[in-house]
């Protein structure tokens, strides 16, 4: 599979997805084979591209022109102004990208940002986001979100819920599954034979013996010990406020955190532009830049392509490790 290109879904065409994809190709051509799936009308007008009939044709073309697997959309794109008529096209391109990877015509899928409200309003999109749609397309029981960069890998156990809802949503079953999926993903997609995983505590100072919360004493300590007894190198729970300095980060390959901001604040502080969203638990490799559609700057030529570049580069590297 590693000789196949990375498939890049177009994302929301009125956002910055098409332009950062074109900029990523200009940076990576010759080093990472890739193919962009979308309507060529939505690319920046100065982008040199060539339509291909199959993803595998992209490998030879990549250094000279951006290979495009065409997917007709209902309307042209107006930067910054999404149209509901294009929503179904965005959804269909994601599905097409998954099919390419599952049929081994592409090595990995890198998804450009979508706008969930546009998809819901324009095409009755039934999923909270990319991850849940990918789970359904791949018949995966559960996917896990990882944010990764050269500085840090973090996994939030609970994601887009209110902080007040975290203690009830955080269950032994959820944390156990998250640890197992994270370990498996580090082995199979990052090439780490014996991954080391540090678990953050839920409460300040990991509860400090029950003085600042009892979940660690009630079940988190035992759950971590149970998973470690399975043979996984899992330690914790550790106080989150001392888990992310340089010496601490050297002791683990990924940190599993309890909620969204506990995981994302440190990685965005350490490596804001280079963070990559990786989905673990799928039968395919999927990465995404860690930013949104950025309608306010779309089409102005000022979007930073660094996260897209890193997402494509990481997808390619993961495919080589698989």
Note the pLDDT of residue 242.
97
Decide: helix, strand or coil at residue 238. Answer: strand
pLDDT of residue 246: 97
pLDDT of residue 76: 97
Kindly provide the b/e burial profile for residues 259-276, where b requires at least 16 CB atoms within 10 angstroms of the residue's own CB: bbebbbebbbebbeebbb
- C-alpha to C-alpha distance for 43 and 39, rounded to whole angstroms: 8
pLDDT at 1: 43
Q: Which two tokens stand for residue 230?
A: 């399975």
More confidently predicted of 64 and 322: 64
Number of H helices, E strands in the chain: 12, 12
Structural domains for the chain: 6-142+274-321 (3.40.718.10), 151-269 (3.40.718.10)
Q: How confident is the model at residue 220 (pLDDT cuts 50, 70, 90)?
A: very high
Mean pLDDT of 144-164: 94
DSSP string, 1-32: -TTSPEEEE---TTTTHHHHHHHHHHHHTTTS
Backbone angles phi, psi at 8, to 5 degrees: -115, 115
Residues of the chain with pLDDT > 70: what percent? 99
- 64-93 pLDDT per residue, tens: 999 999 999 999 999 999 999 999 999 999
Judge if pTM exceeds 0.75.
yes
d(CA 236, CA 252): 11
Q: What is the dihedral of CA 133, 136, 137, 143, to 10 degrees?
A: 80
**pLDDT at residue 180 is higher than 90:** yes
User: Is the pLDDT assigned to residue 120 strictly greater than 90?
Assistant: yes
3-state secondary structure of 140: coil
Bigger pLDDT: 60 vs 232 = 232
Q: Which of 270, 203, 200 is nearest to 242 (CA)?
A: 200
Give the H or E element holding residue 131: helix 130-138
Q: Do 307 and 274 touch, CB atoms closer than 8 A? A: yes
Specify burial of residue 160 (Cβ count, 10 A radius: 0-12, 13-18, 19+): exposed
Lookup: tokens for 180: 């197992």
What CA–CA distance (Å, rounded) separates 289 from 278?
Answer: 9
Contact 237, 202 (CB under 8 A): yes
Section 191-204 average pLDDT: 97
So what's the pLDDT on residue 62? 80
* CA atoms within 13 Å, Cβ hemisphere of 58: 29
CB 164 within 8 A of CB 260: no
Q: Quick one: pLDDT band at residue 128, thresholds 50, 70, 90?
A: confident
Residues 6+ positions from 132 with CB-CB distance below 8 Å: 143
Per-residue pLDDT of 246-278, as tens digits, reads 999 999 999 999 999 999 999 999 998 899 999
**In this structure, are strands 34-38 and 6-9 parallel, antiparallel, or unpaired?**
parallel
Tell me, what's the pLDDT at 178? 98
Q: Hey, is 304 helix, strand or coil?
A: coil
Phi, psi dihedrals of residue 248, rounded to the nearest 5°: -70, -40
Average pLDDT rounded to a whole number, residues 200-221: 96
Q: How far apart are CA 50 and CA 172, in angstroms?
A: 51
Q: pLDDT tens, 304-321? A: 999 999 999 999 999 988
């Amino acid at each position: 599979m590693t000789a196949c290109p990375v498939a890049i879904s177009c994302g929301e065409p009125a956002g910055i997805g098409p332009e950062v994809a074109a900029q990523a190709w200009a940076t990576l051509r010759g080093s990472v084979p890739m193919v962009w799936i979308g309507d060529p009308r939505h690319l920046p007008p100065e982008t040199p591209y060539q339509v291909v009939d199959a993803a595998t044709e992209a490998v030879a073309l990549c250094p000279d022109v951006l290979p495009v697997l065409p997917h007709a959309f209902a309307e042209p794109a107006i930067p910054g102004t999404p149209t509901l008529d294009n929503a179904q096209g965005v959804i269909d391109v994601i599905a097409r990208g998954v099919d390419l990877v599952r049929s081994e015509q592409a090595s990995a899928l890198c998804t450009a940002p979508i706008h969930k409200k546009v998809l819901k309003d324009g095409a009755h999109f039934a999923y909270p986001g990319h991850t849940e749609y990918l789970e359904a397309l791949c018949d995966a029981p559960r996917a896990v979100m990882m944010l990764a960069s050269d500085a840090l890998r973090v996994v939030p156990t609970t994601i887009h819920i209110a902080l007040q809802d975290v203690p009830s949503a955080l269950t032994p079953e959820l944390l156990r599954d998250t640890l197992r999926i994270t370990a498996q993903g580090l082995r199979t997609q990052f090439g780490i034979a014996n991954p080391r995983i540090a678990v953050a505590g839920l409460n300040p100072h990991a509860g400090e013996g029950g003085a600042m919360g009892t979940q660690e004493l009630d079940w988190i300590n035992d759950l971590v010990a149970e998973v470690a007894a399975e043979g996984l190198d899992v330690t914790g729970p550790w106080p989150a406020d001392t888990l992310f300095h340089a010496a601490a980060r050297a002791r683990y390959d990924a940190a599993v955190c309890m909620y969204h901001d506990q995981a994302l604040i440190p990685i965005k502080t350490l490596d804001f532009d280079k963070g990559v969203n990786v989905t673990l638990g799928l039968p395919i490799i999927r990465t995404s830049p860690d930013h949104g559609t950025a309608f306010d700057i779309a089409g102005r030529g000022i979007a930073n392509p660094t996260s897209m570049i890193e997402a494509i580069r990481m997808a390619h590297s993961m495919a080589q490790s698989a």
